[in-house]
Amino acid sequence: MEIVLNPNINQRDALLERPLKQRSEVDSAVKDIIQLVVENGDEALIAFAKQFDKAELTQLKVTLPEIERASEQVDTDLKKAIQTAYDNIYKFHEACFTKDYAVVETMPGITCWRKSLPIEKVGLYIPGGSAPLFSTVLMLAIPAQIAGNKKVVLCSPTDENGDINPVVLYTANLCGVTEIYKVGGAQAIAAMTYGTKTIPSVHKIFGPGNAFVTRAKELAQQQGVAIDMPAGPSEVLVIADAQANPTFVAADLLAQAEHGHDSQVILLTDSEDLAKAVDEEIEIQISSLSRKQTAKAALENSKTIVLDSIDQCVEWSDVYAPEHLIINTVDADNVANEIAVAGSIFIGSYTCESLGDYASGTNHTLPTYGYARNYSGVSVDSFVNKVTYQKATAQGIKNLGPAVETMAAAEGLDAHKNAVSVRLKSLENND
């Protein structure tokens, strides 16, 4: 991994540049896929399953016997680990969620309040591929479970035998999701956007995916379907000082690098010795990784930057706006309090990103590609609408009405003013 020593401020933007998104090459393909799904529905989905997954499907919906068989295939130790993760994620997300807010009397006779109402229909996309992300089922289905969405639809691609990964099915069932469909890629997003004979359309779509899935989600928004957040390749930034264990730091960088060839990892440090030690440790650890070629490709997009101080590291981190931020310094808590922008922060030498990815309780569906500046990670709030209420008594409109009449008149909105005036006049006539 490239080591950059003491760069100046003018080099910052170039050094923190992310791998470019190549949208143009996938845009036309995604639009073609969407059009075929719109025109041919289930027939198109079955054809795409054969084309992309090499699967001969006779039906799209996963049956209850299939879910039961999947459960039998999951190792007992893995089931226990998933249950531990489920308990922690549920506990944290439930504690962070406010369903009903206090009623506020803004002035005598005027009360306002807010409630969290579940989005009626949501869709969850779970990628397949070489590393089926059953952990993402937990991260999306548990908040939906707490929110109380009326319909939760899950789509995931199959293997060549037409089966969704058994751990994905087991985890979905654990989270109460049983409406599961054998469809992946951009075609899954299209199906949940427009609906087919088998798959219902939804109001909001969640979940990660490749460039095709990401583009399909972006296009879904043009049809009035909300998405969780814009997405880019996964990333981690580590701030570490001289006391950090280089073995830990290298392991954290590689844990992110193995996600994908377009992932990016950044180490910011004030210690040149640590930078060199981490680089040596990466070479040692990467040799034993099953996904070492993927990790090596990601490291080509990555770098270690040696700065003058940890304070400067914080400044550079905020400019980068990382999806994941690990702080491995002697005063990690204080450094964390100085951070202004990040998707999720991991504090201290023992808090590796892997904990949050799987089971600490926080959500691993986070804003990437700098979107942490203006987006938050997925939570129960992502699955609800925050609806405001207000109620005025007769005394309330008497108290507030004159101010509203004055403001409406100043804006030249006579009908707005009149809606108040007719009520005030009615009250005067009744007095």
Determine the pLDDT at residue 232: 84
Determine the pLDDT at residue 430: 86
Looking at residue 74, the DSSP 8-state letter turns out to be S
- The domain 232-375 having CATH identifier 3.40.50.1980: the answer here is yes
Q: What is the location of CATH 3.40.50.1980 in the chain?
A: 23-228, 232-375
323 flagged as catalytic: yes
Q: Is 259 known as a binding-site position?
A: yes
Q: Is 256 known as a binding-site position?
A: yes
Q: Give residue 165's region: left, alpha or beta (phi > 0; psi -120 to 50).
A: beta
Contact yes or no for 365/75 (Cβ under 8 A)? no
Q: How far apart are CA 19 and CA 263, in angstroms?
A: 8
Give the pairing of strands 121-125 and 204-206.
parallel
> What is the helix (H) or strand (E) element at residue 228, kind and residue range?
none
Determine the pLDDT at residue 21: 65
Residues of the chain predicted below pLDDT 70:
21-24, 129-131
Q: How far apart are CA 16 and CA 370, in angstroms?
A: 10
Contact yes or no for 110/396 (Cβ under 8 A)? yes
Determine the pLDDT at residue 83: 99
Comparing C-alpha atoms, which of 82, 94, 97 is closest to residue 137?
Answer: 82
Contact yes or no for 419/404 (Cβ under 8 A)? no
Structure tokens at 352: 């590796």
Determine the pLDDT at residue 130: 64
Contact yes or no for 129/138 (Cβ under 8 A)? no
Q: How far apart are CA 213 and CA 250, in angstroms?
A: 31
Spell out the SS3 assignment of 196-228: CCCCCCCCEEECCCCHHHHHHHHHHHCCCCEEC
The active-site residue out of 258, 324, 353, 364 is 324
356-395 pLDDT tens trace:
999 999 999 999 999 999 999 999 999 999 999 999 999 9
The active-site residue out of 235, 258, 281, 323 is 323
Q: Is 411 known as a binding-site position?
A: yes
Q: How far apart are CA 47 and CA 40, in angstroms?
A: 10
364 flagged as catalytic: no
Q: Which CATH number fits domain 23-228: 3.40.50.1980, 2.40.10.10, 3.20.20.100, 3.50.50.60?
A: 3.40.50.1980
Give the pairing of strands 384-392 and 110-118.
antiparallel
Helix locations, 258-370, DSSP H: 272-286, 292-299, 310-320, 332-338, 353-358
Structure tokens at 112: 């306002």
Distance of CA 367 to the CA centre of its chain: 6
Report pTM.
Answer: 0.94
Determine the pLDDT at residue 22: 63
Determine the pLDDT at residue 99: 87
Q: Is 324 known as a binding-site position?
A: yes
246-265 pLDDT tens trace:
999 999 999 999 998 999 99
Amino acid found at 69: R
Structure tokens at 31: 């639009």
